[in-house]
Amino acid sequence: MEGNVLIVGMGLIGGSLALCIKEEHPHATIIGYDVNQKELRLAKTLGVIDEMAQTFEHAAEKADLIIISTPVTQTEKIMKILHNTNLKQGVIITDTGSTKGQIMKAARPLSEKGIPFIGGHPMAGSHKSGVSAAKKILFENAFYMFTPSENIEDHEIQSLEKWLGGTRAKFLIVPPKEHDELTGMISHFPHIIAASLVHQAKDSSQEHPYLRRLAAGGFRDITRIASSSPVMWKDITMQNSQVLMDILEKWKIEMEEVIHMVKEKDAEELYRYFYEAKVFRDELPVLAKGAIPAFYDLYIDIPDYPGVISEVTAYLAEEKISLTNIRILETREDVYGVLVISFQTIEDRERAVFCLKEKTAYELFID
């Protein structure tokens, strides 16, 4: 496809979409806009975009596709500006926000004006942020949800899917209300719970000074989504507040039931509670991408001797396998420590497993 694509917001998502569109549609011109001029210039320097927008309105007027990849509160403001801008006939507007109810309400003036708006939410991310972290494979096999306005025609959705074909994502069309309920349960709610666990640990650390050291292992892993942007999660929580209130009320009732089981030392009910959770969790897809970005971790039992970590990473470097993170859960004299290496993709992790099994006798684990 040919034409001008305006991407508003040069972060991880906006930059990665730009790379996907450039590869799939080499004759299209990718125009970037961001209030952060430093990120915008970096996007141009890295070749993520072809042009930097001089003004937002001028770039919007010549665009055939506009992708708004900004925090949800900013997206609403941008749509108000677009409503008063002289846009091209046939332009399609979409966003990448993780809440949709309020965004779709904000899009109504555009729809009433005959400008097609298709809400979008690519369910992918990374522990890194900014345009420098953008990559073409970010959305591969991830779900990409669309919430079209009521007046959207099939050919307009098909056109957007064609523009975004380079993402290699799985496109789903859902109503805005259902989208917010789904993401509320499997993405927004877990972030609140992770943050609350960290707050409890923080409070306990005043009384138990060893807590920080002990929390460096599994606790740190299960709460790592709490390290996400507080600005973003403040906005998401406010945007999806009603859904989250309903979920939190149900959670409160469930926790009261757990308190009762613990207080009464009800062994049978406690077993059932943990067993049913295990069964459902074990049935969840292992390889599929979900609402929360997956972390492709490999756990390696390593002996504690000088140079062992360099030895492991050297083997992976020989095979040109990229790492995103590396840490040690435990290292003590005469005791095997656990080295945890994170990878960008599941394919990289599989290659690492094959490499290390071939070159070492270390025991490898994947959760």
Q: Report the alpha-carbon distance of residue 94 to residue 103 in Å, rounded.
A: 10
Tens of pLDDT, residues 250-284: 999 999 999 999 999 999 999 999 999 999 988 88
Residue type, 149: S
Residue type, 320: K
The pLDDT-based confidence of 288 (bands split at 50, 70, 90) is low
Q: Six-digit token pair at 116?
A: 């097609």
pTM of the model: 0.77
Give yes or no for a contact between 108 and 84, defined as CB atoms under 8 angstroms apart.
no
Q: Report the alpha-carbon distance of residue 77 to residue 71 in Å, rounded.
A: 10
Q: Report the alpha-carbon distance of residue 79 to residue 239 in Å, rounded.
A: 16
**pLDDT for position 219:** 83
Domain boundaries, the chain: 3-174, 179-283, 296-365
How many angstroms separate the Cα of 204 from the Cα of each of 192, 207, 216, 221? 18, 6, 15, 18
DSSP structure string for 208-219: -TTHHHHTTTHH
The pLDDT-based confidence of 287 (bands split at 50, 70, 90) is low
How much is the average pLDDT of 26-54? 94
Q: Determine the topology of domain 296-365 in CATH.
A: VC0802-like (3.30.2130)
Q: Report the alpha-carbon distance of residue 66 to residue 80 in Å, rounded.
A: 14
**pLDDT for position 329:** 66
**pLDDT for position 151:** 86
What are the backbone dihedrals phi and psi of residue 331, each rounded to the nearest 5 degrees, phi first? -145, 115
The pLDDT-based confidence of 231 (bands split at 50, 70, 90) is confident
Pick the CATH number of 3-174 from 2.40.30.10, 3.90.470.20, 2.30.140.10, 3.40.50.720: 3.40.50.720
Q: Report the alpha-carbon distance of residue 218 to residue 221 in Å, rounded.
A: 5
Domain with residues 179-283, CATH architecture: Orthogonal Bundle (1.10)
Q: Which residues, in sequence order, are bridge partners of residue 339?
A: 300, 328
**pLDDT for position 225:** 82
What is the H or E stretch that residue 157 is in?
helix 154-163
CA-based radius of gyration for the chain: 23
Tens of pLDDT, residues 185-202: 989 999 999 999 999 999
**pLDDT for position 107:** 93
Q: Six-digit token pair at 142?
A: 């991830």
Angle in degrees, 0-180, between the axes of helices 241-264 and 230-239, rounded to the nearest 10: 100
Does residue 332 carry a pLDDT above 50?
no
How much is the average pLDDT of 224-236? 85
Q: Report the alpha-carbon distance of residue 111 to residue 291 in Å, rounded.
A: 28
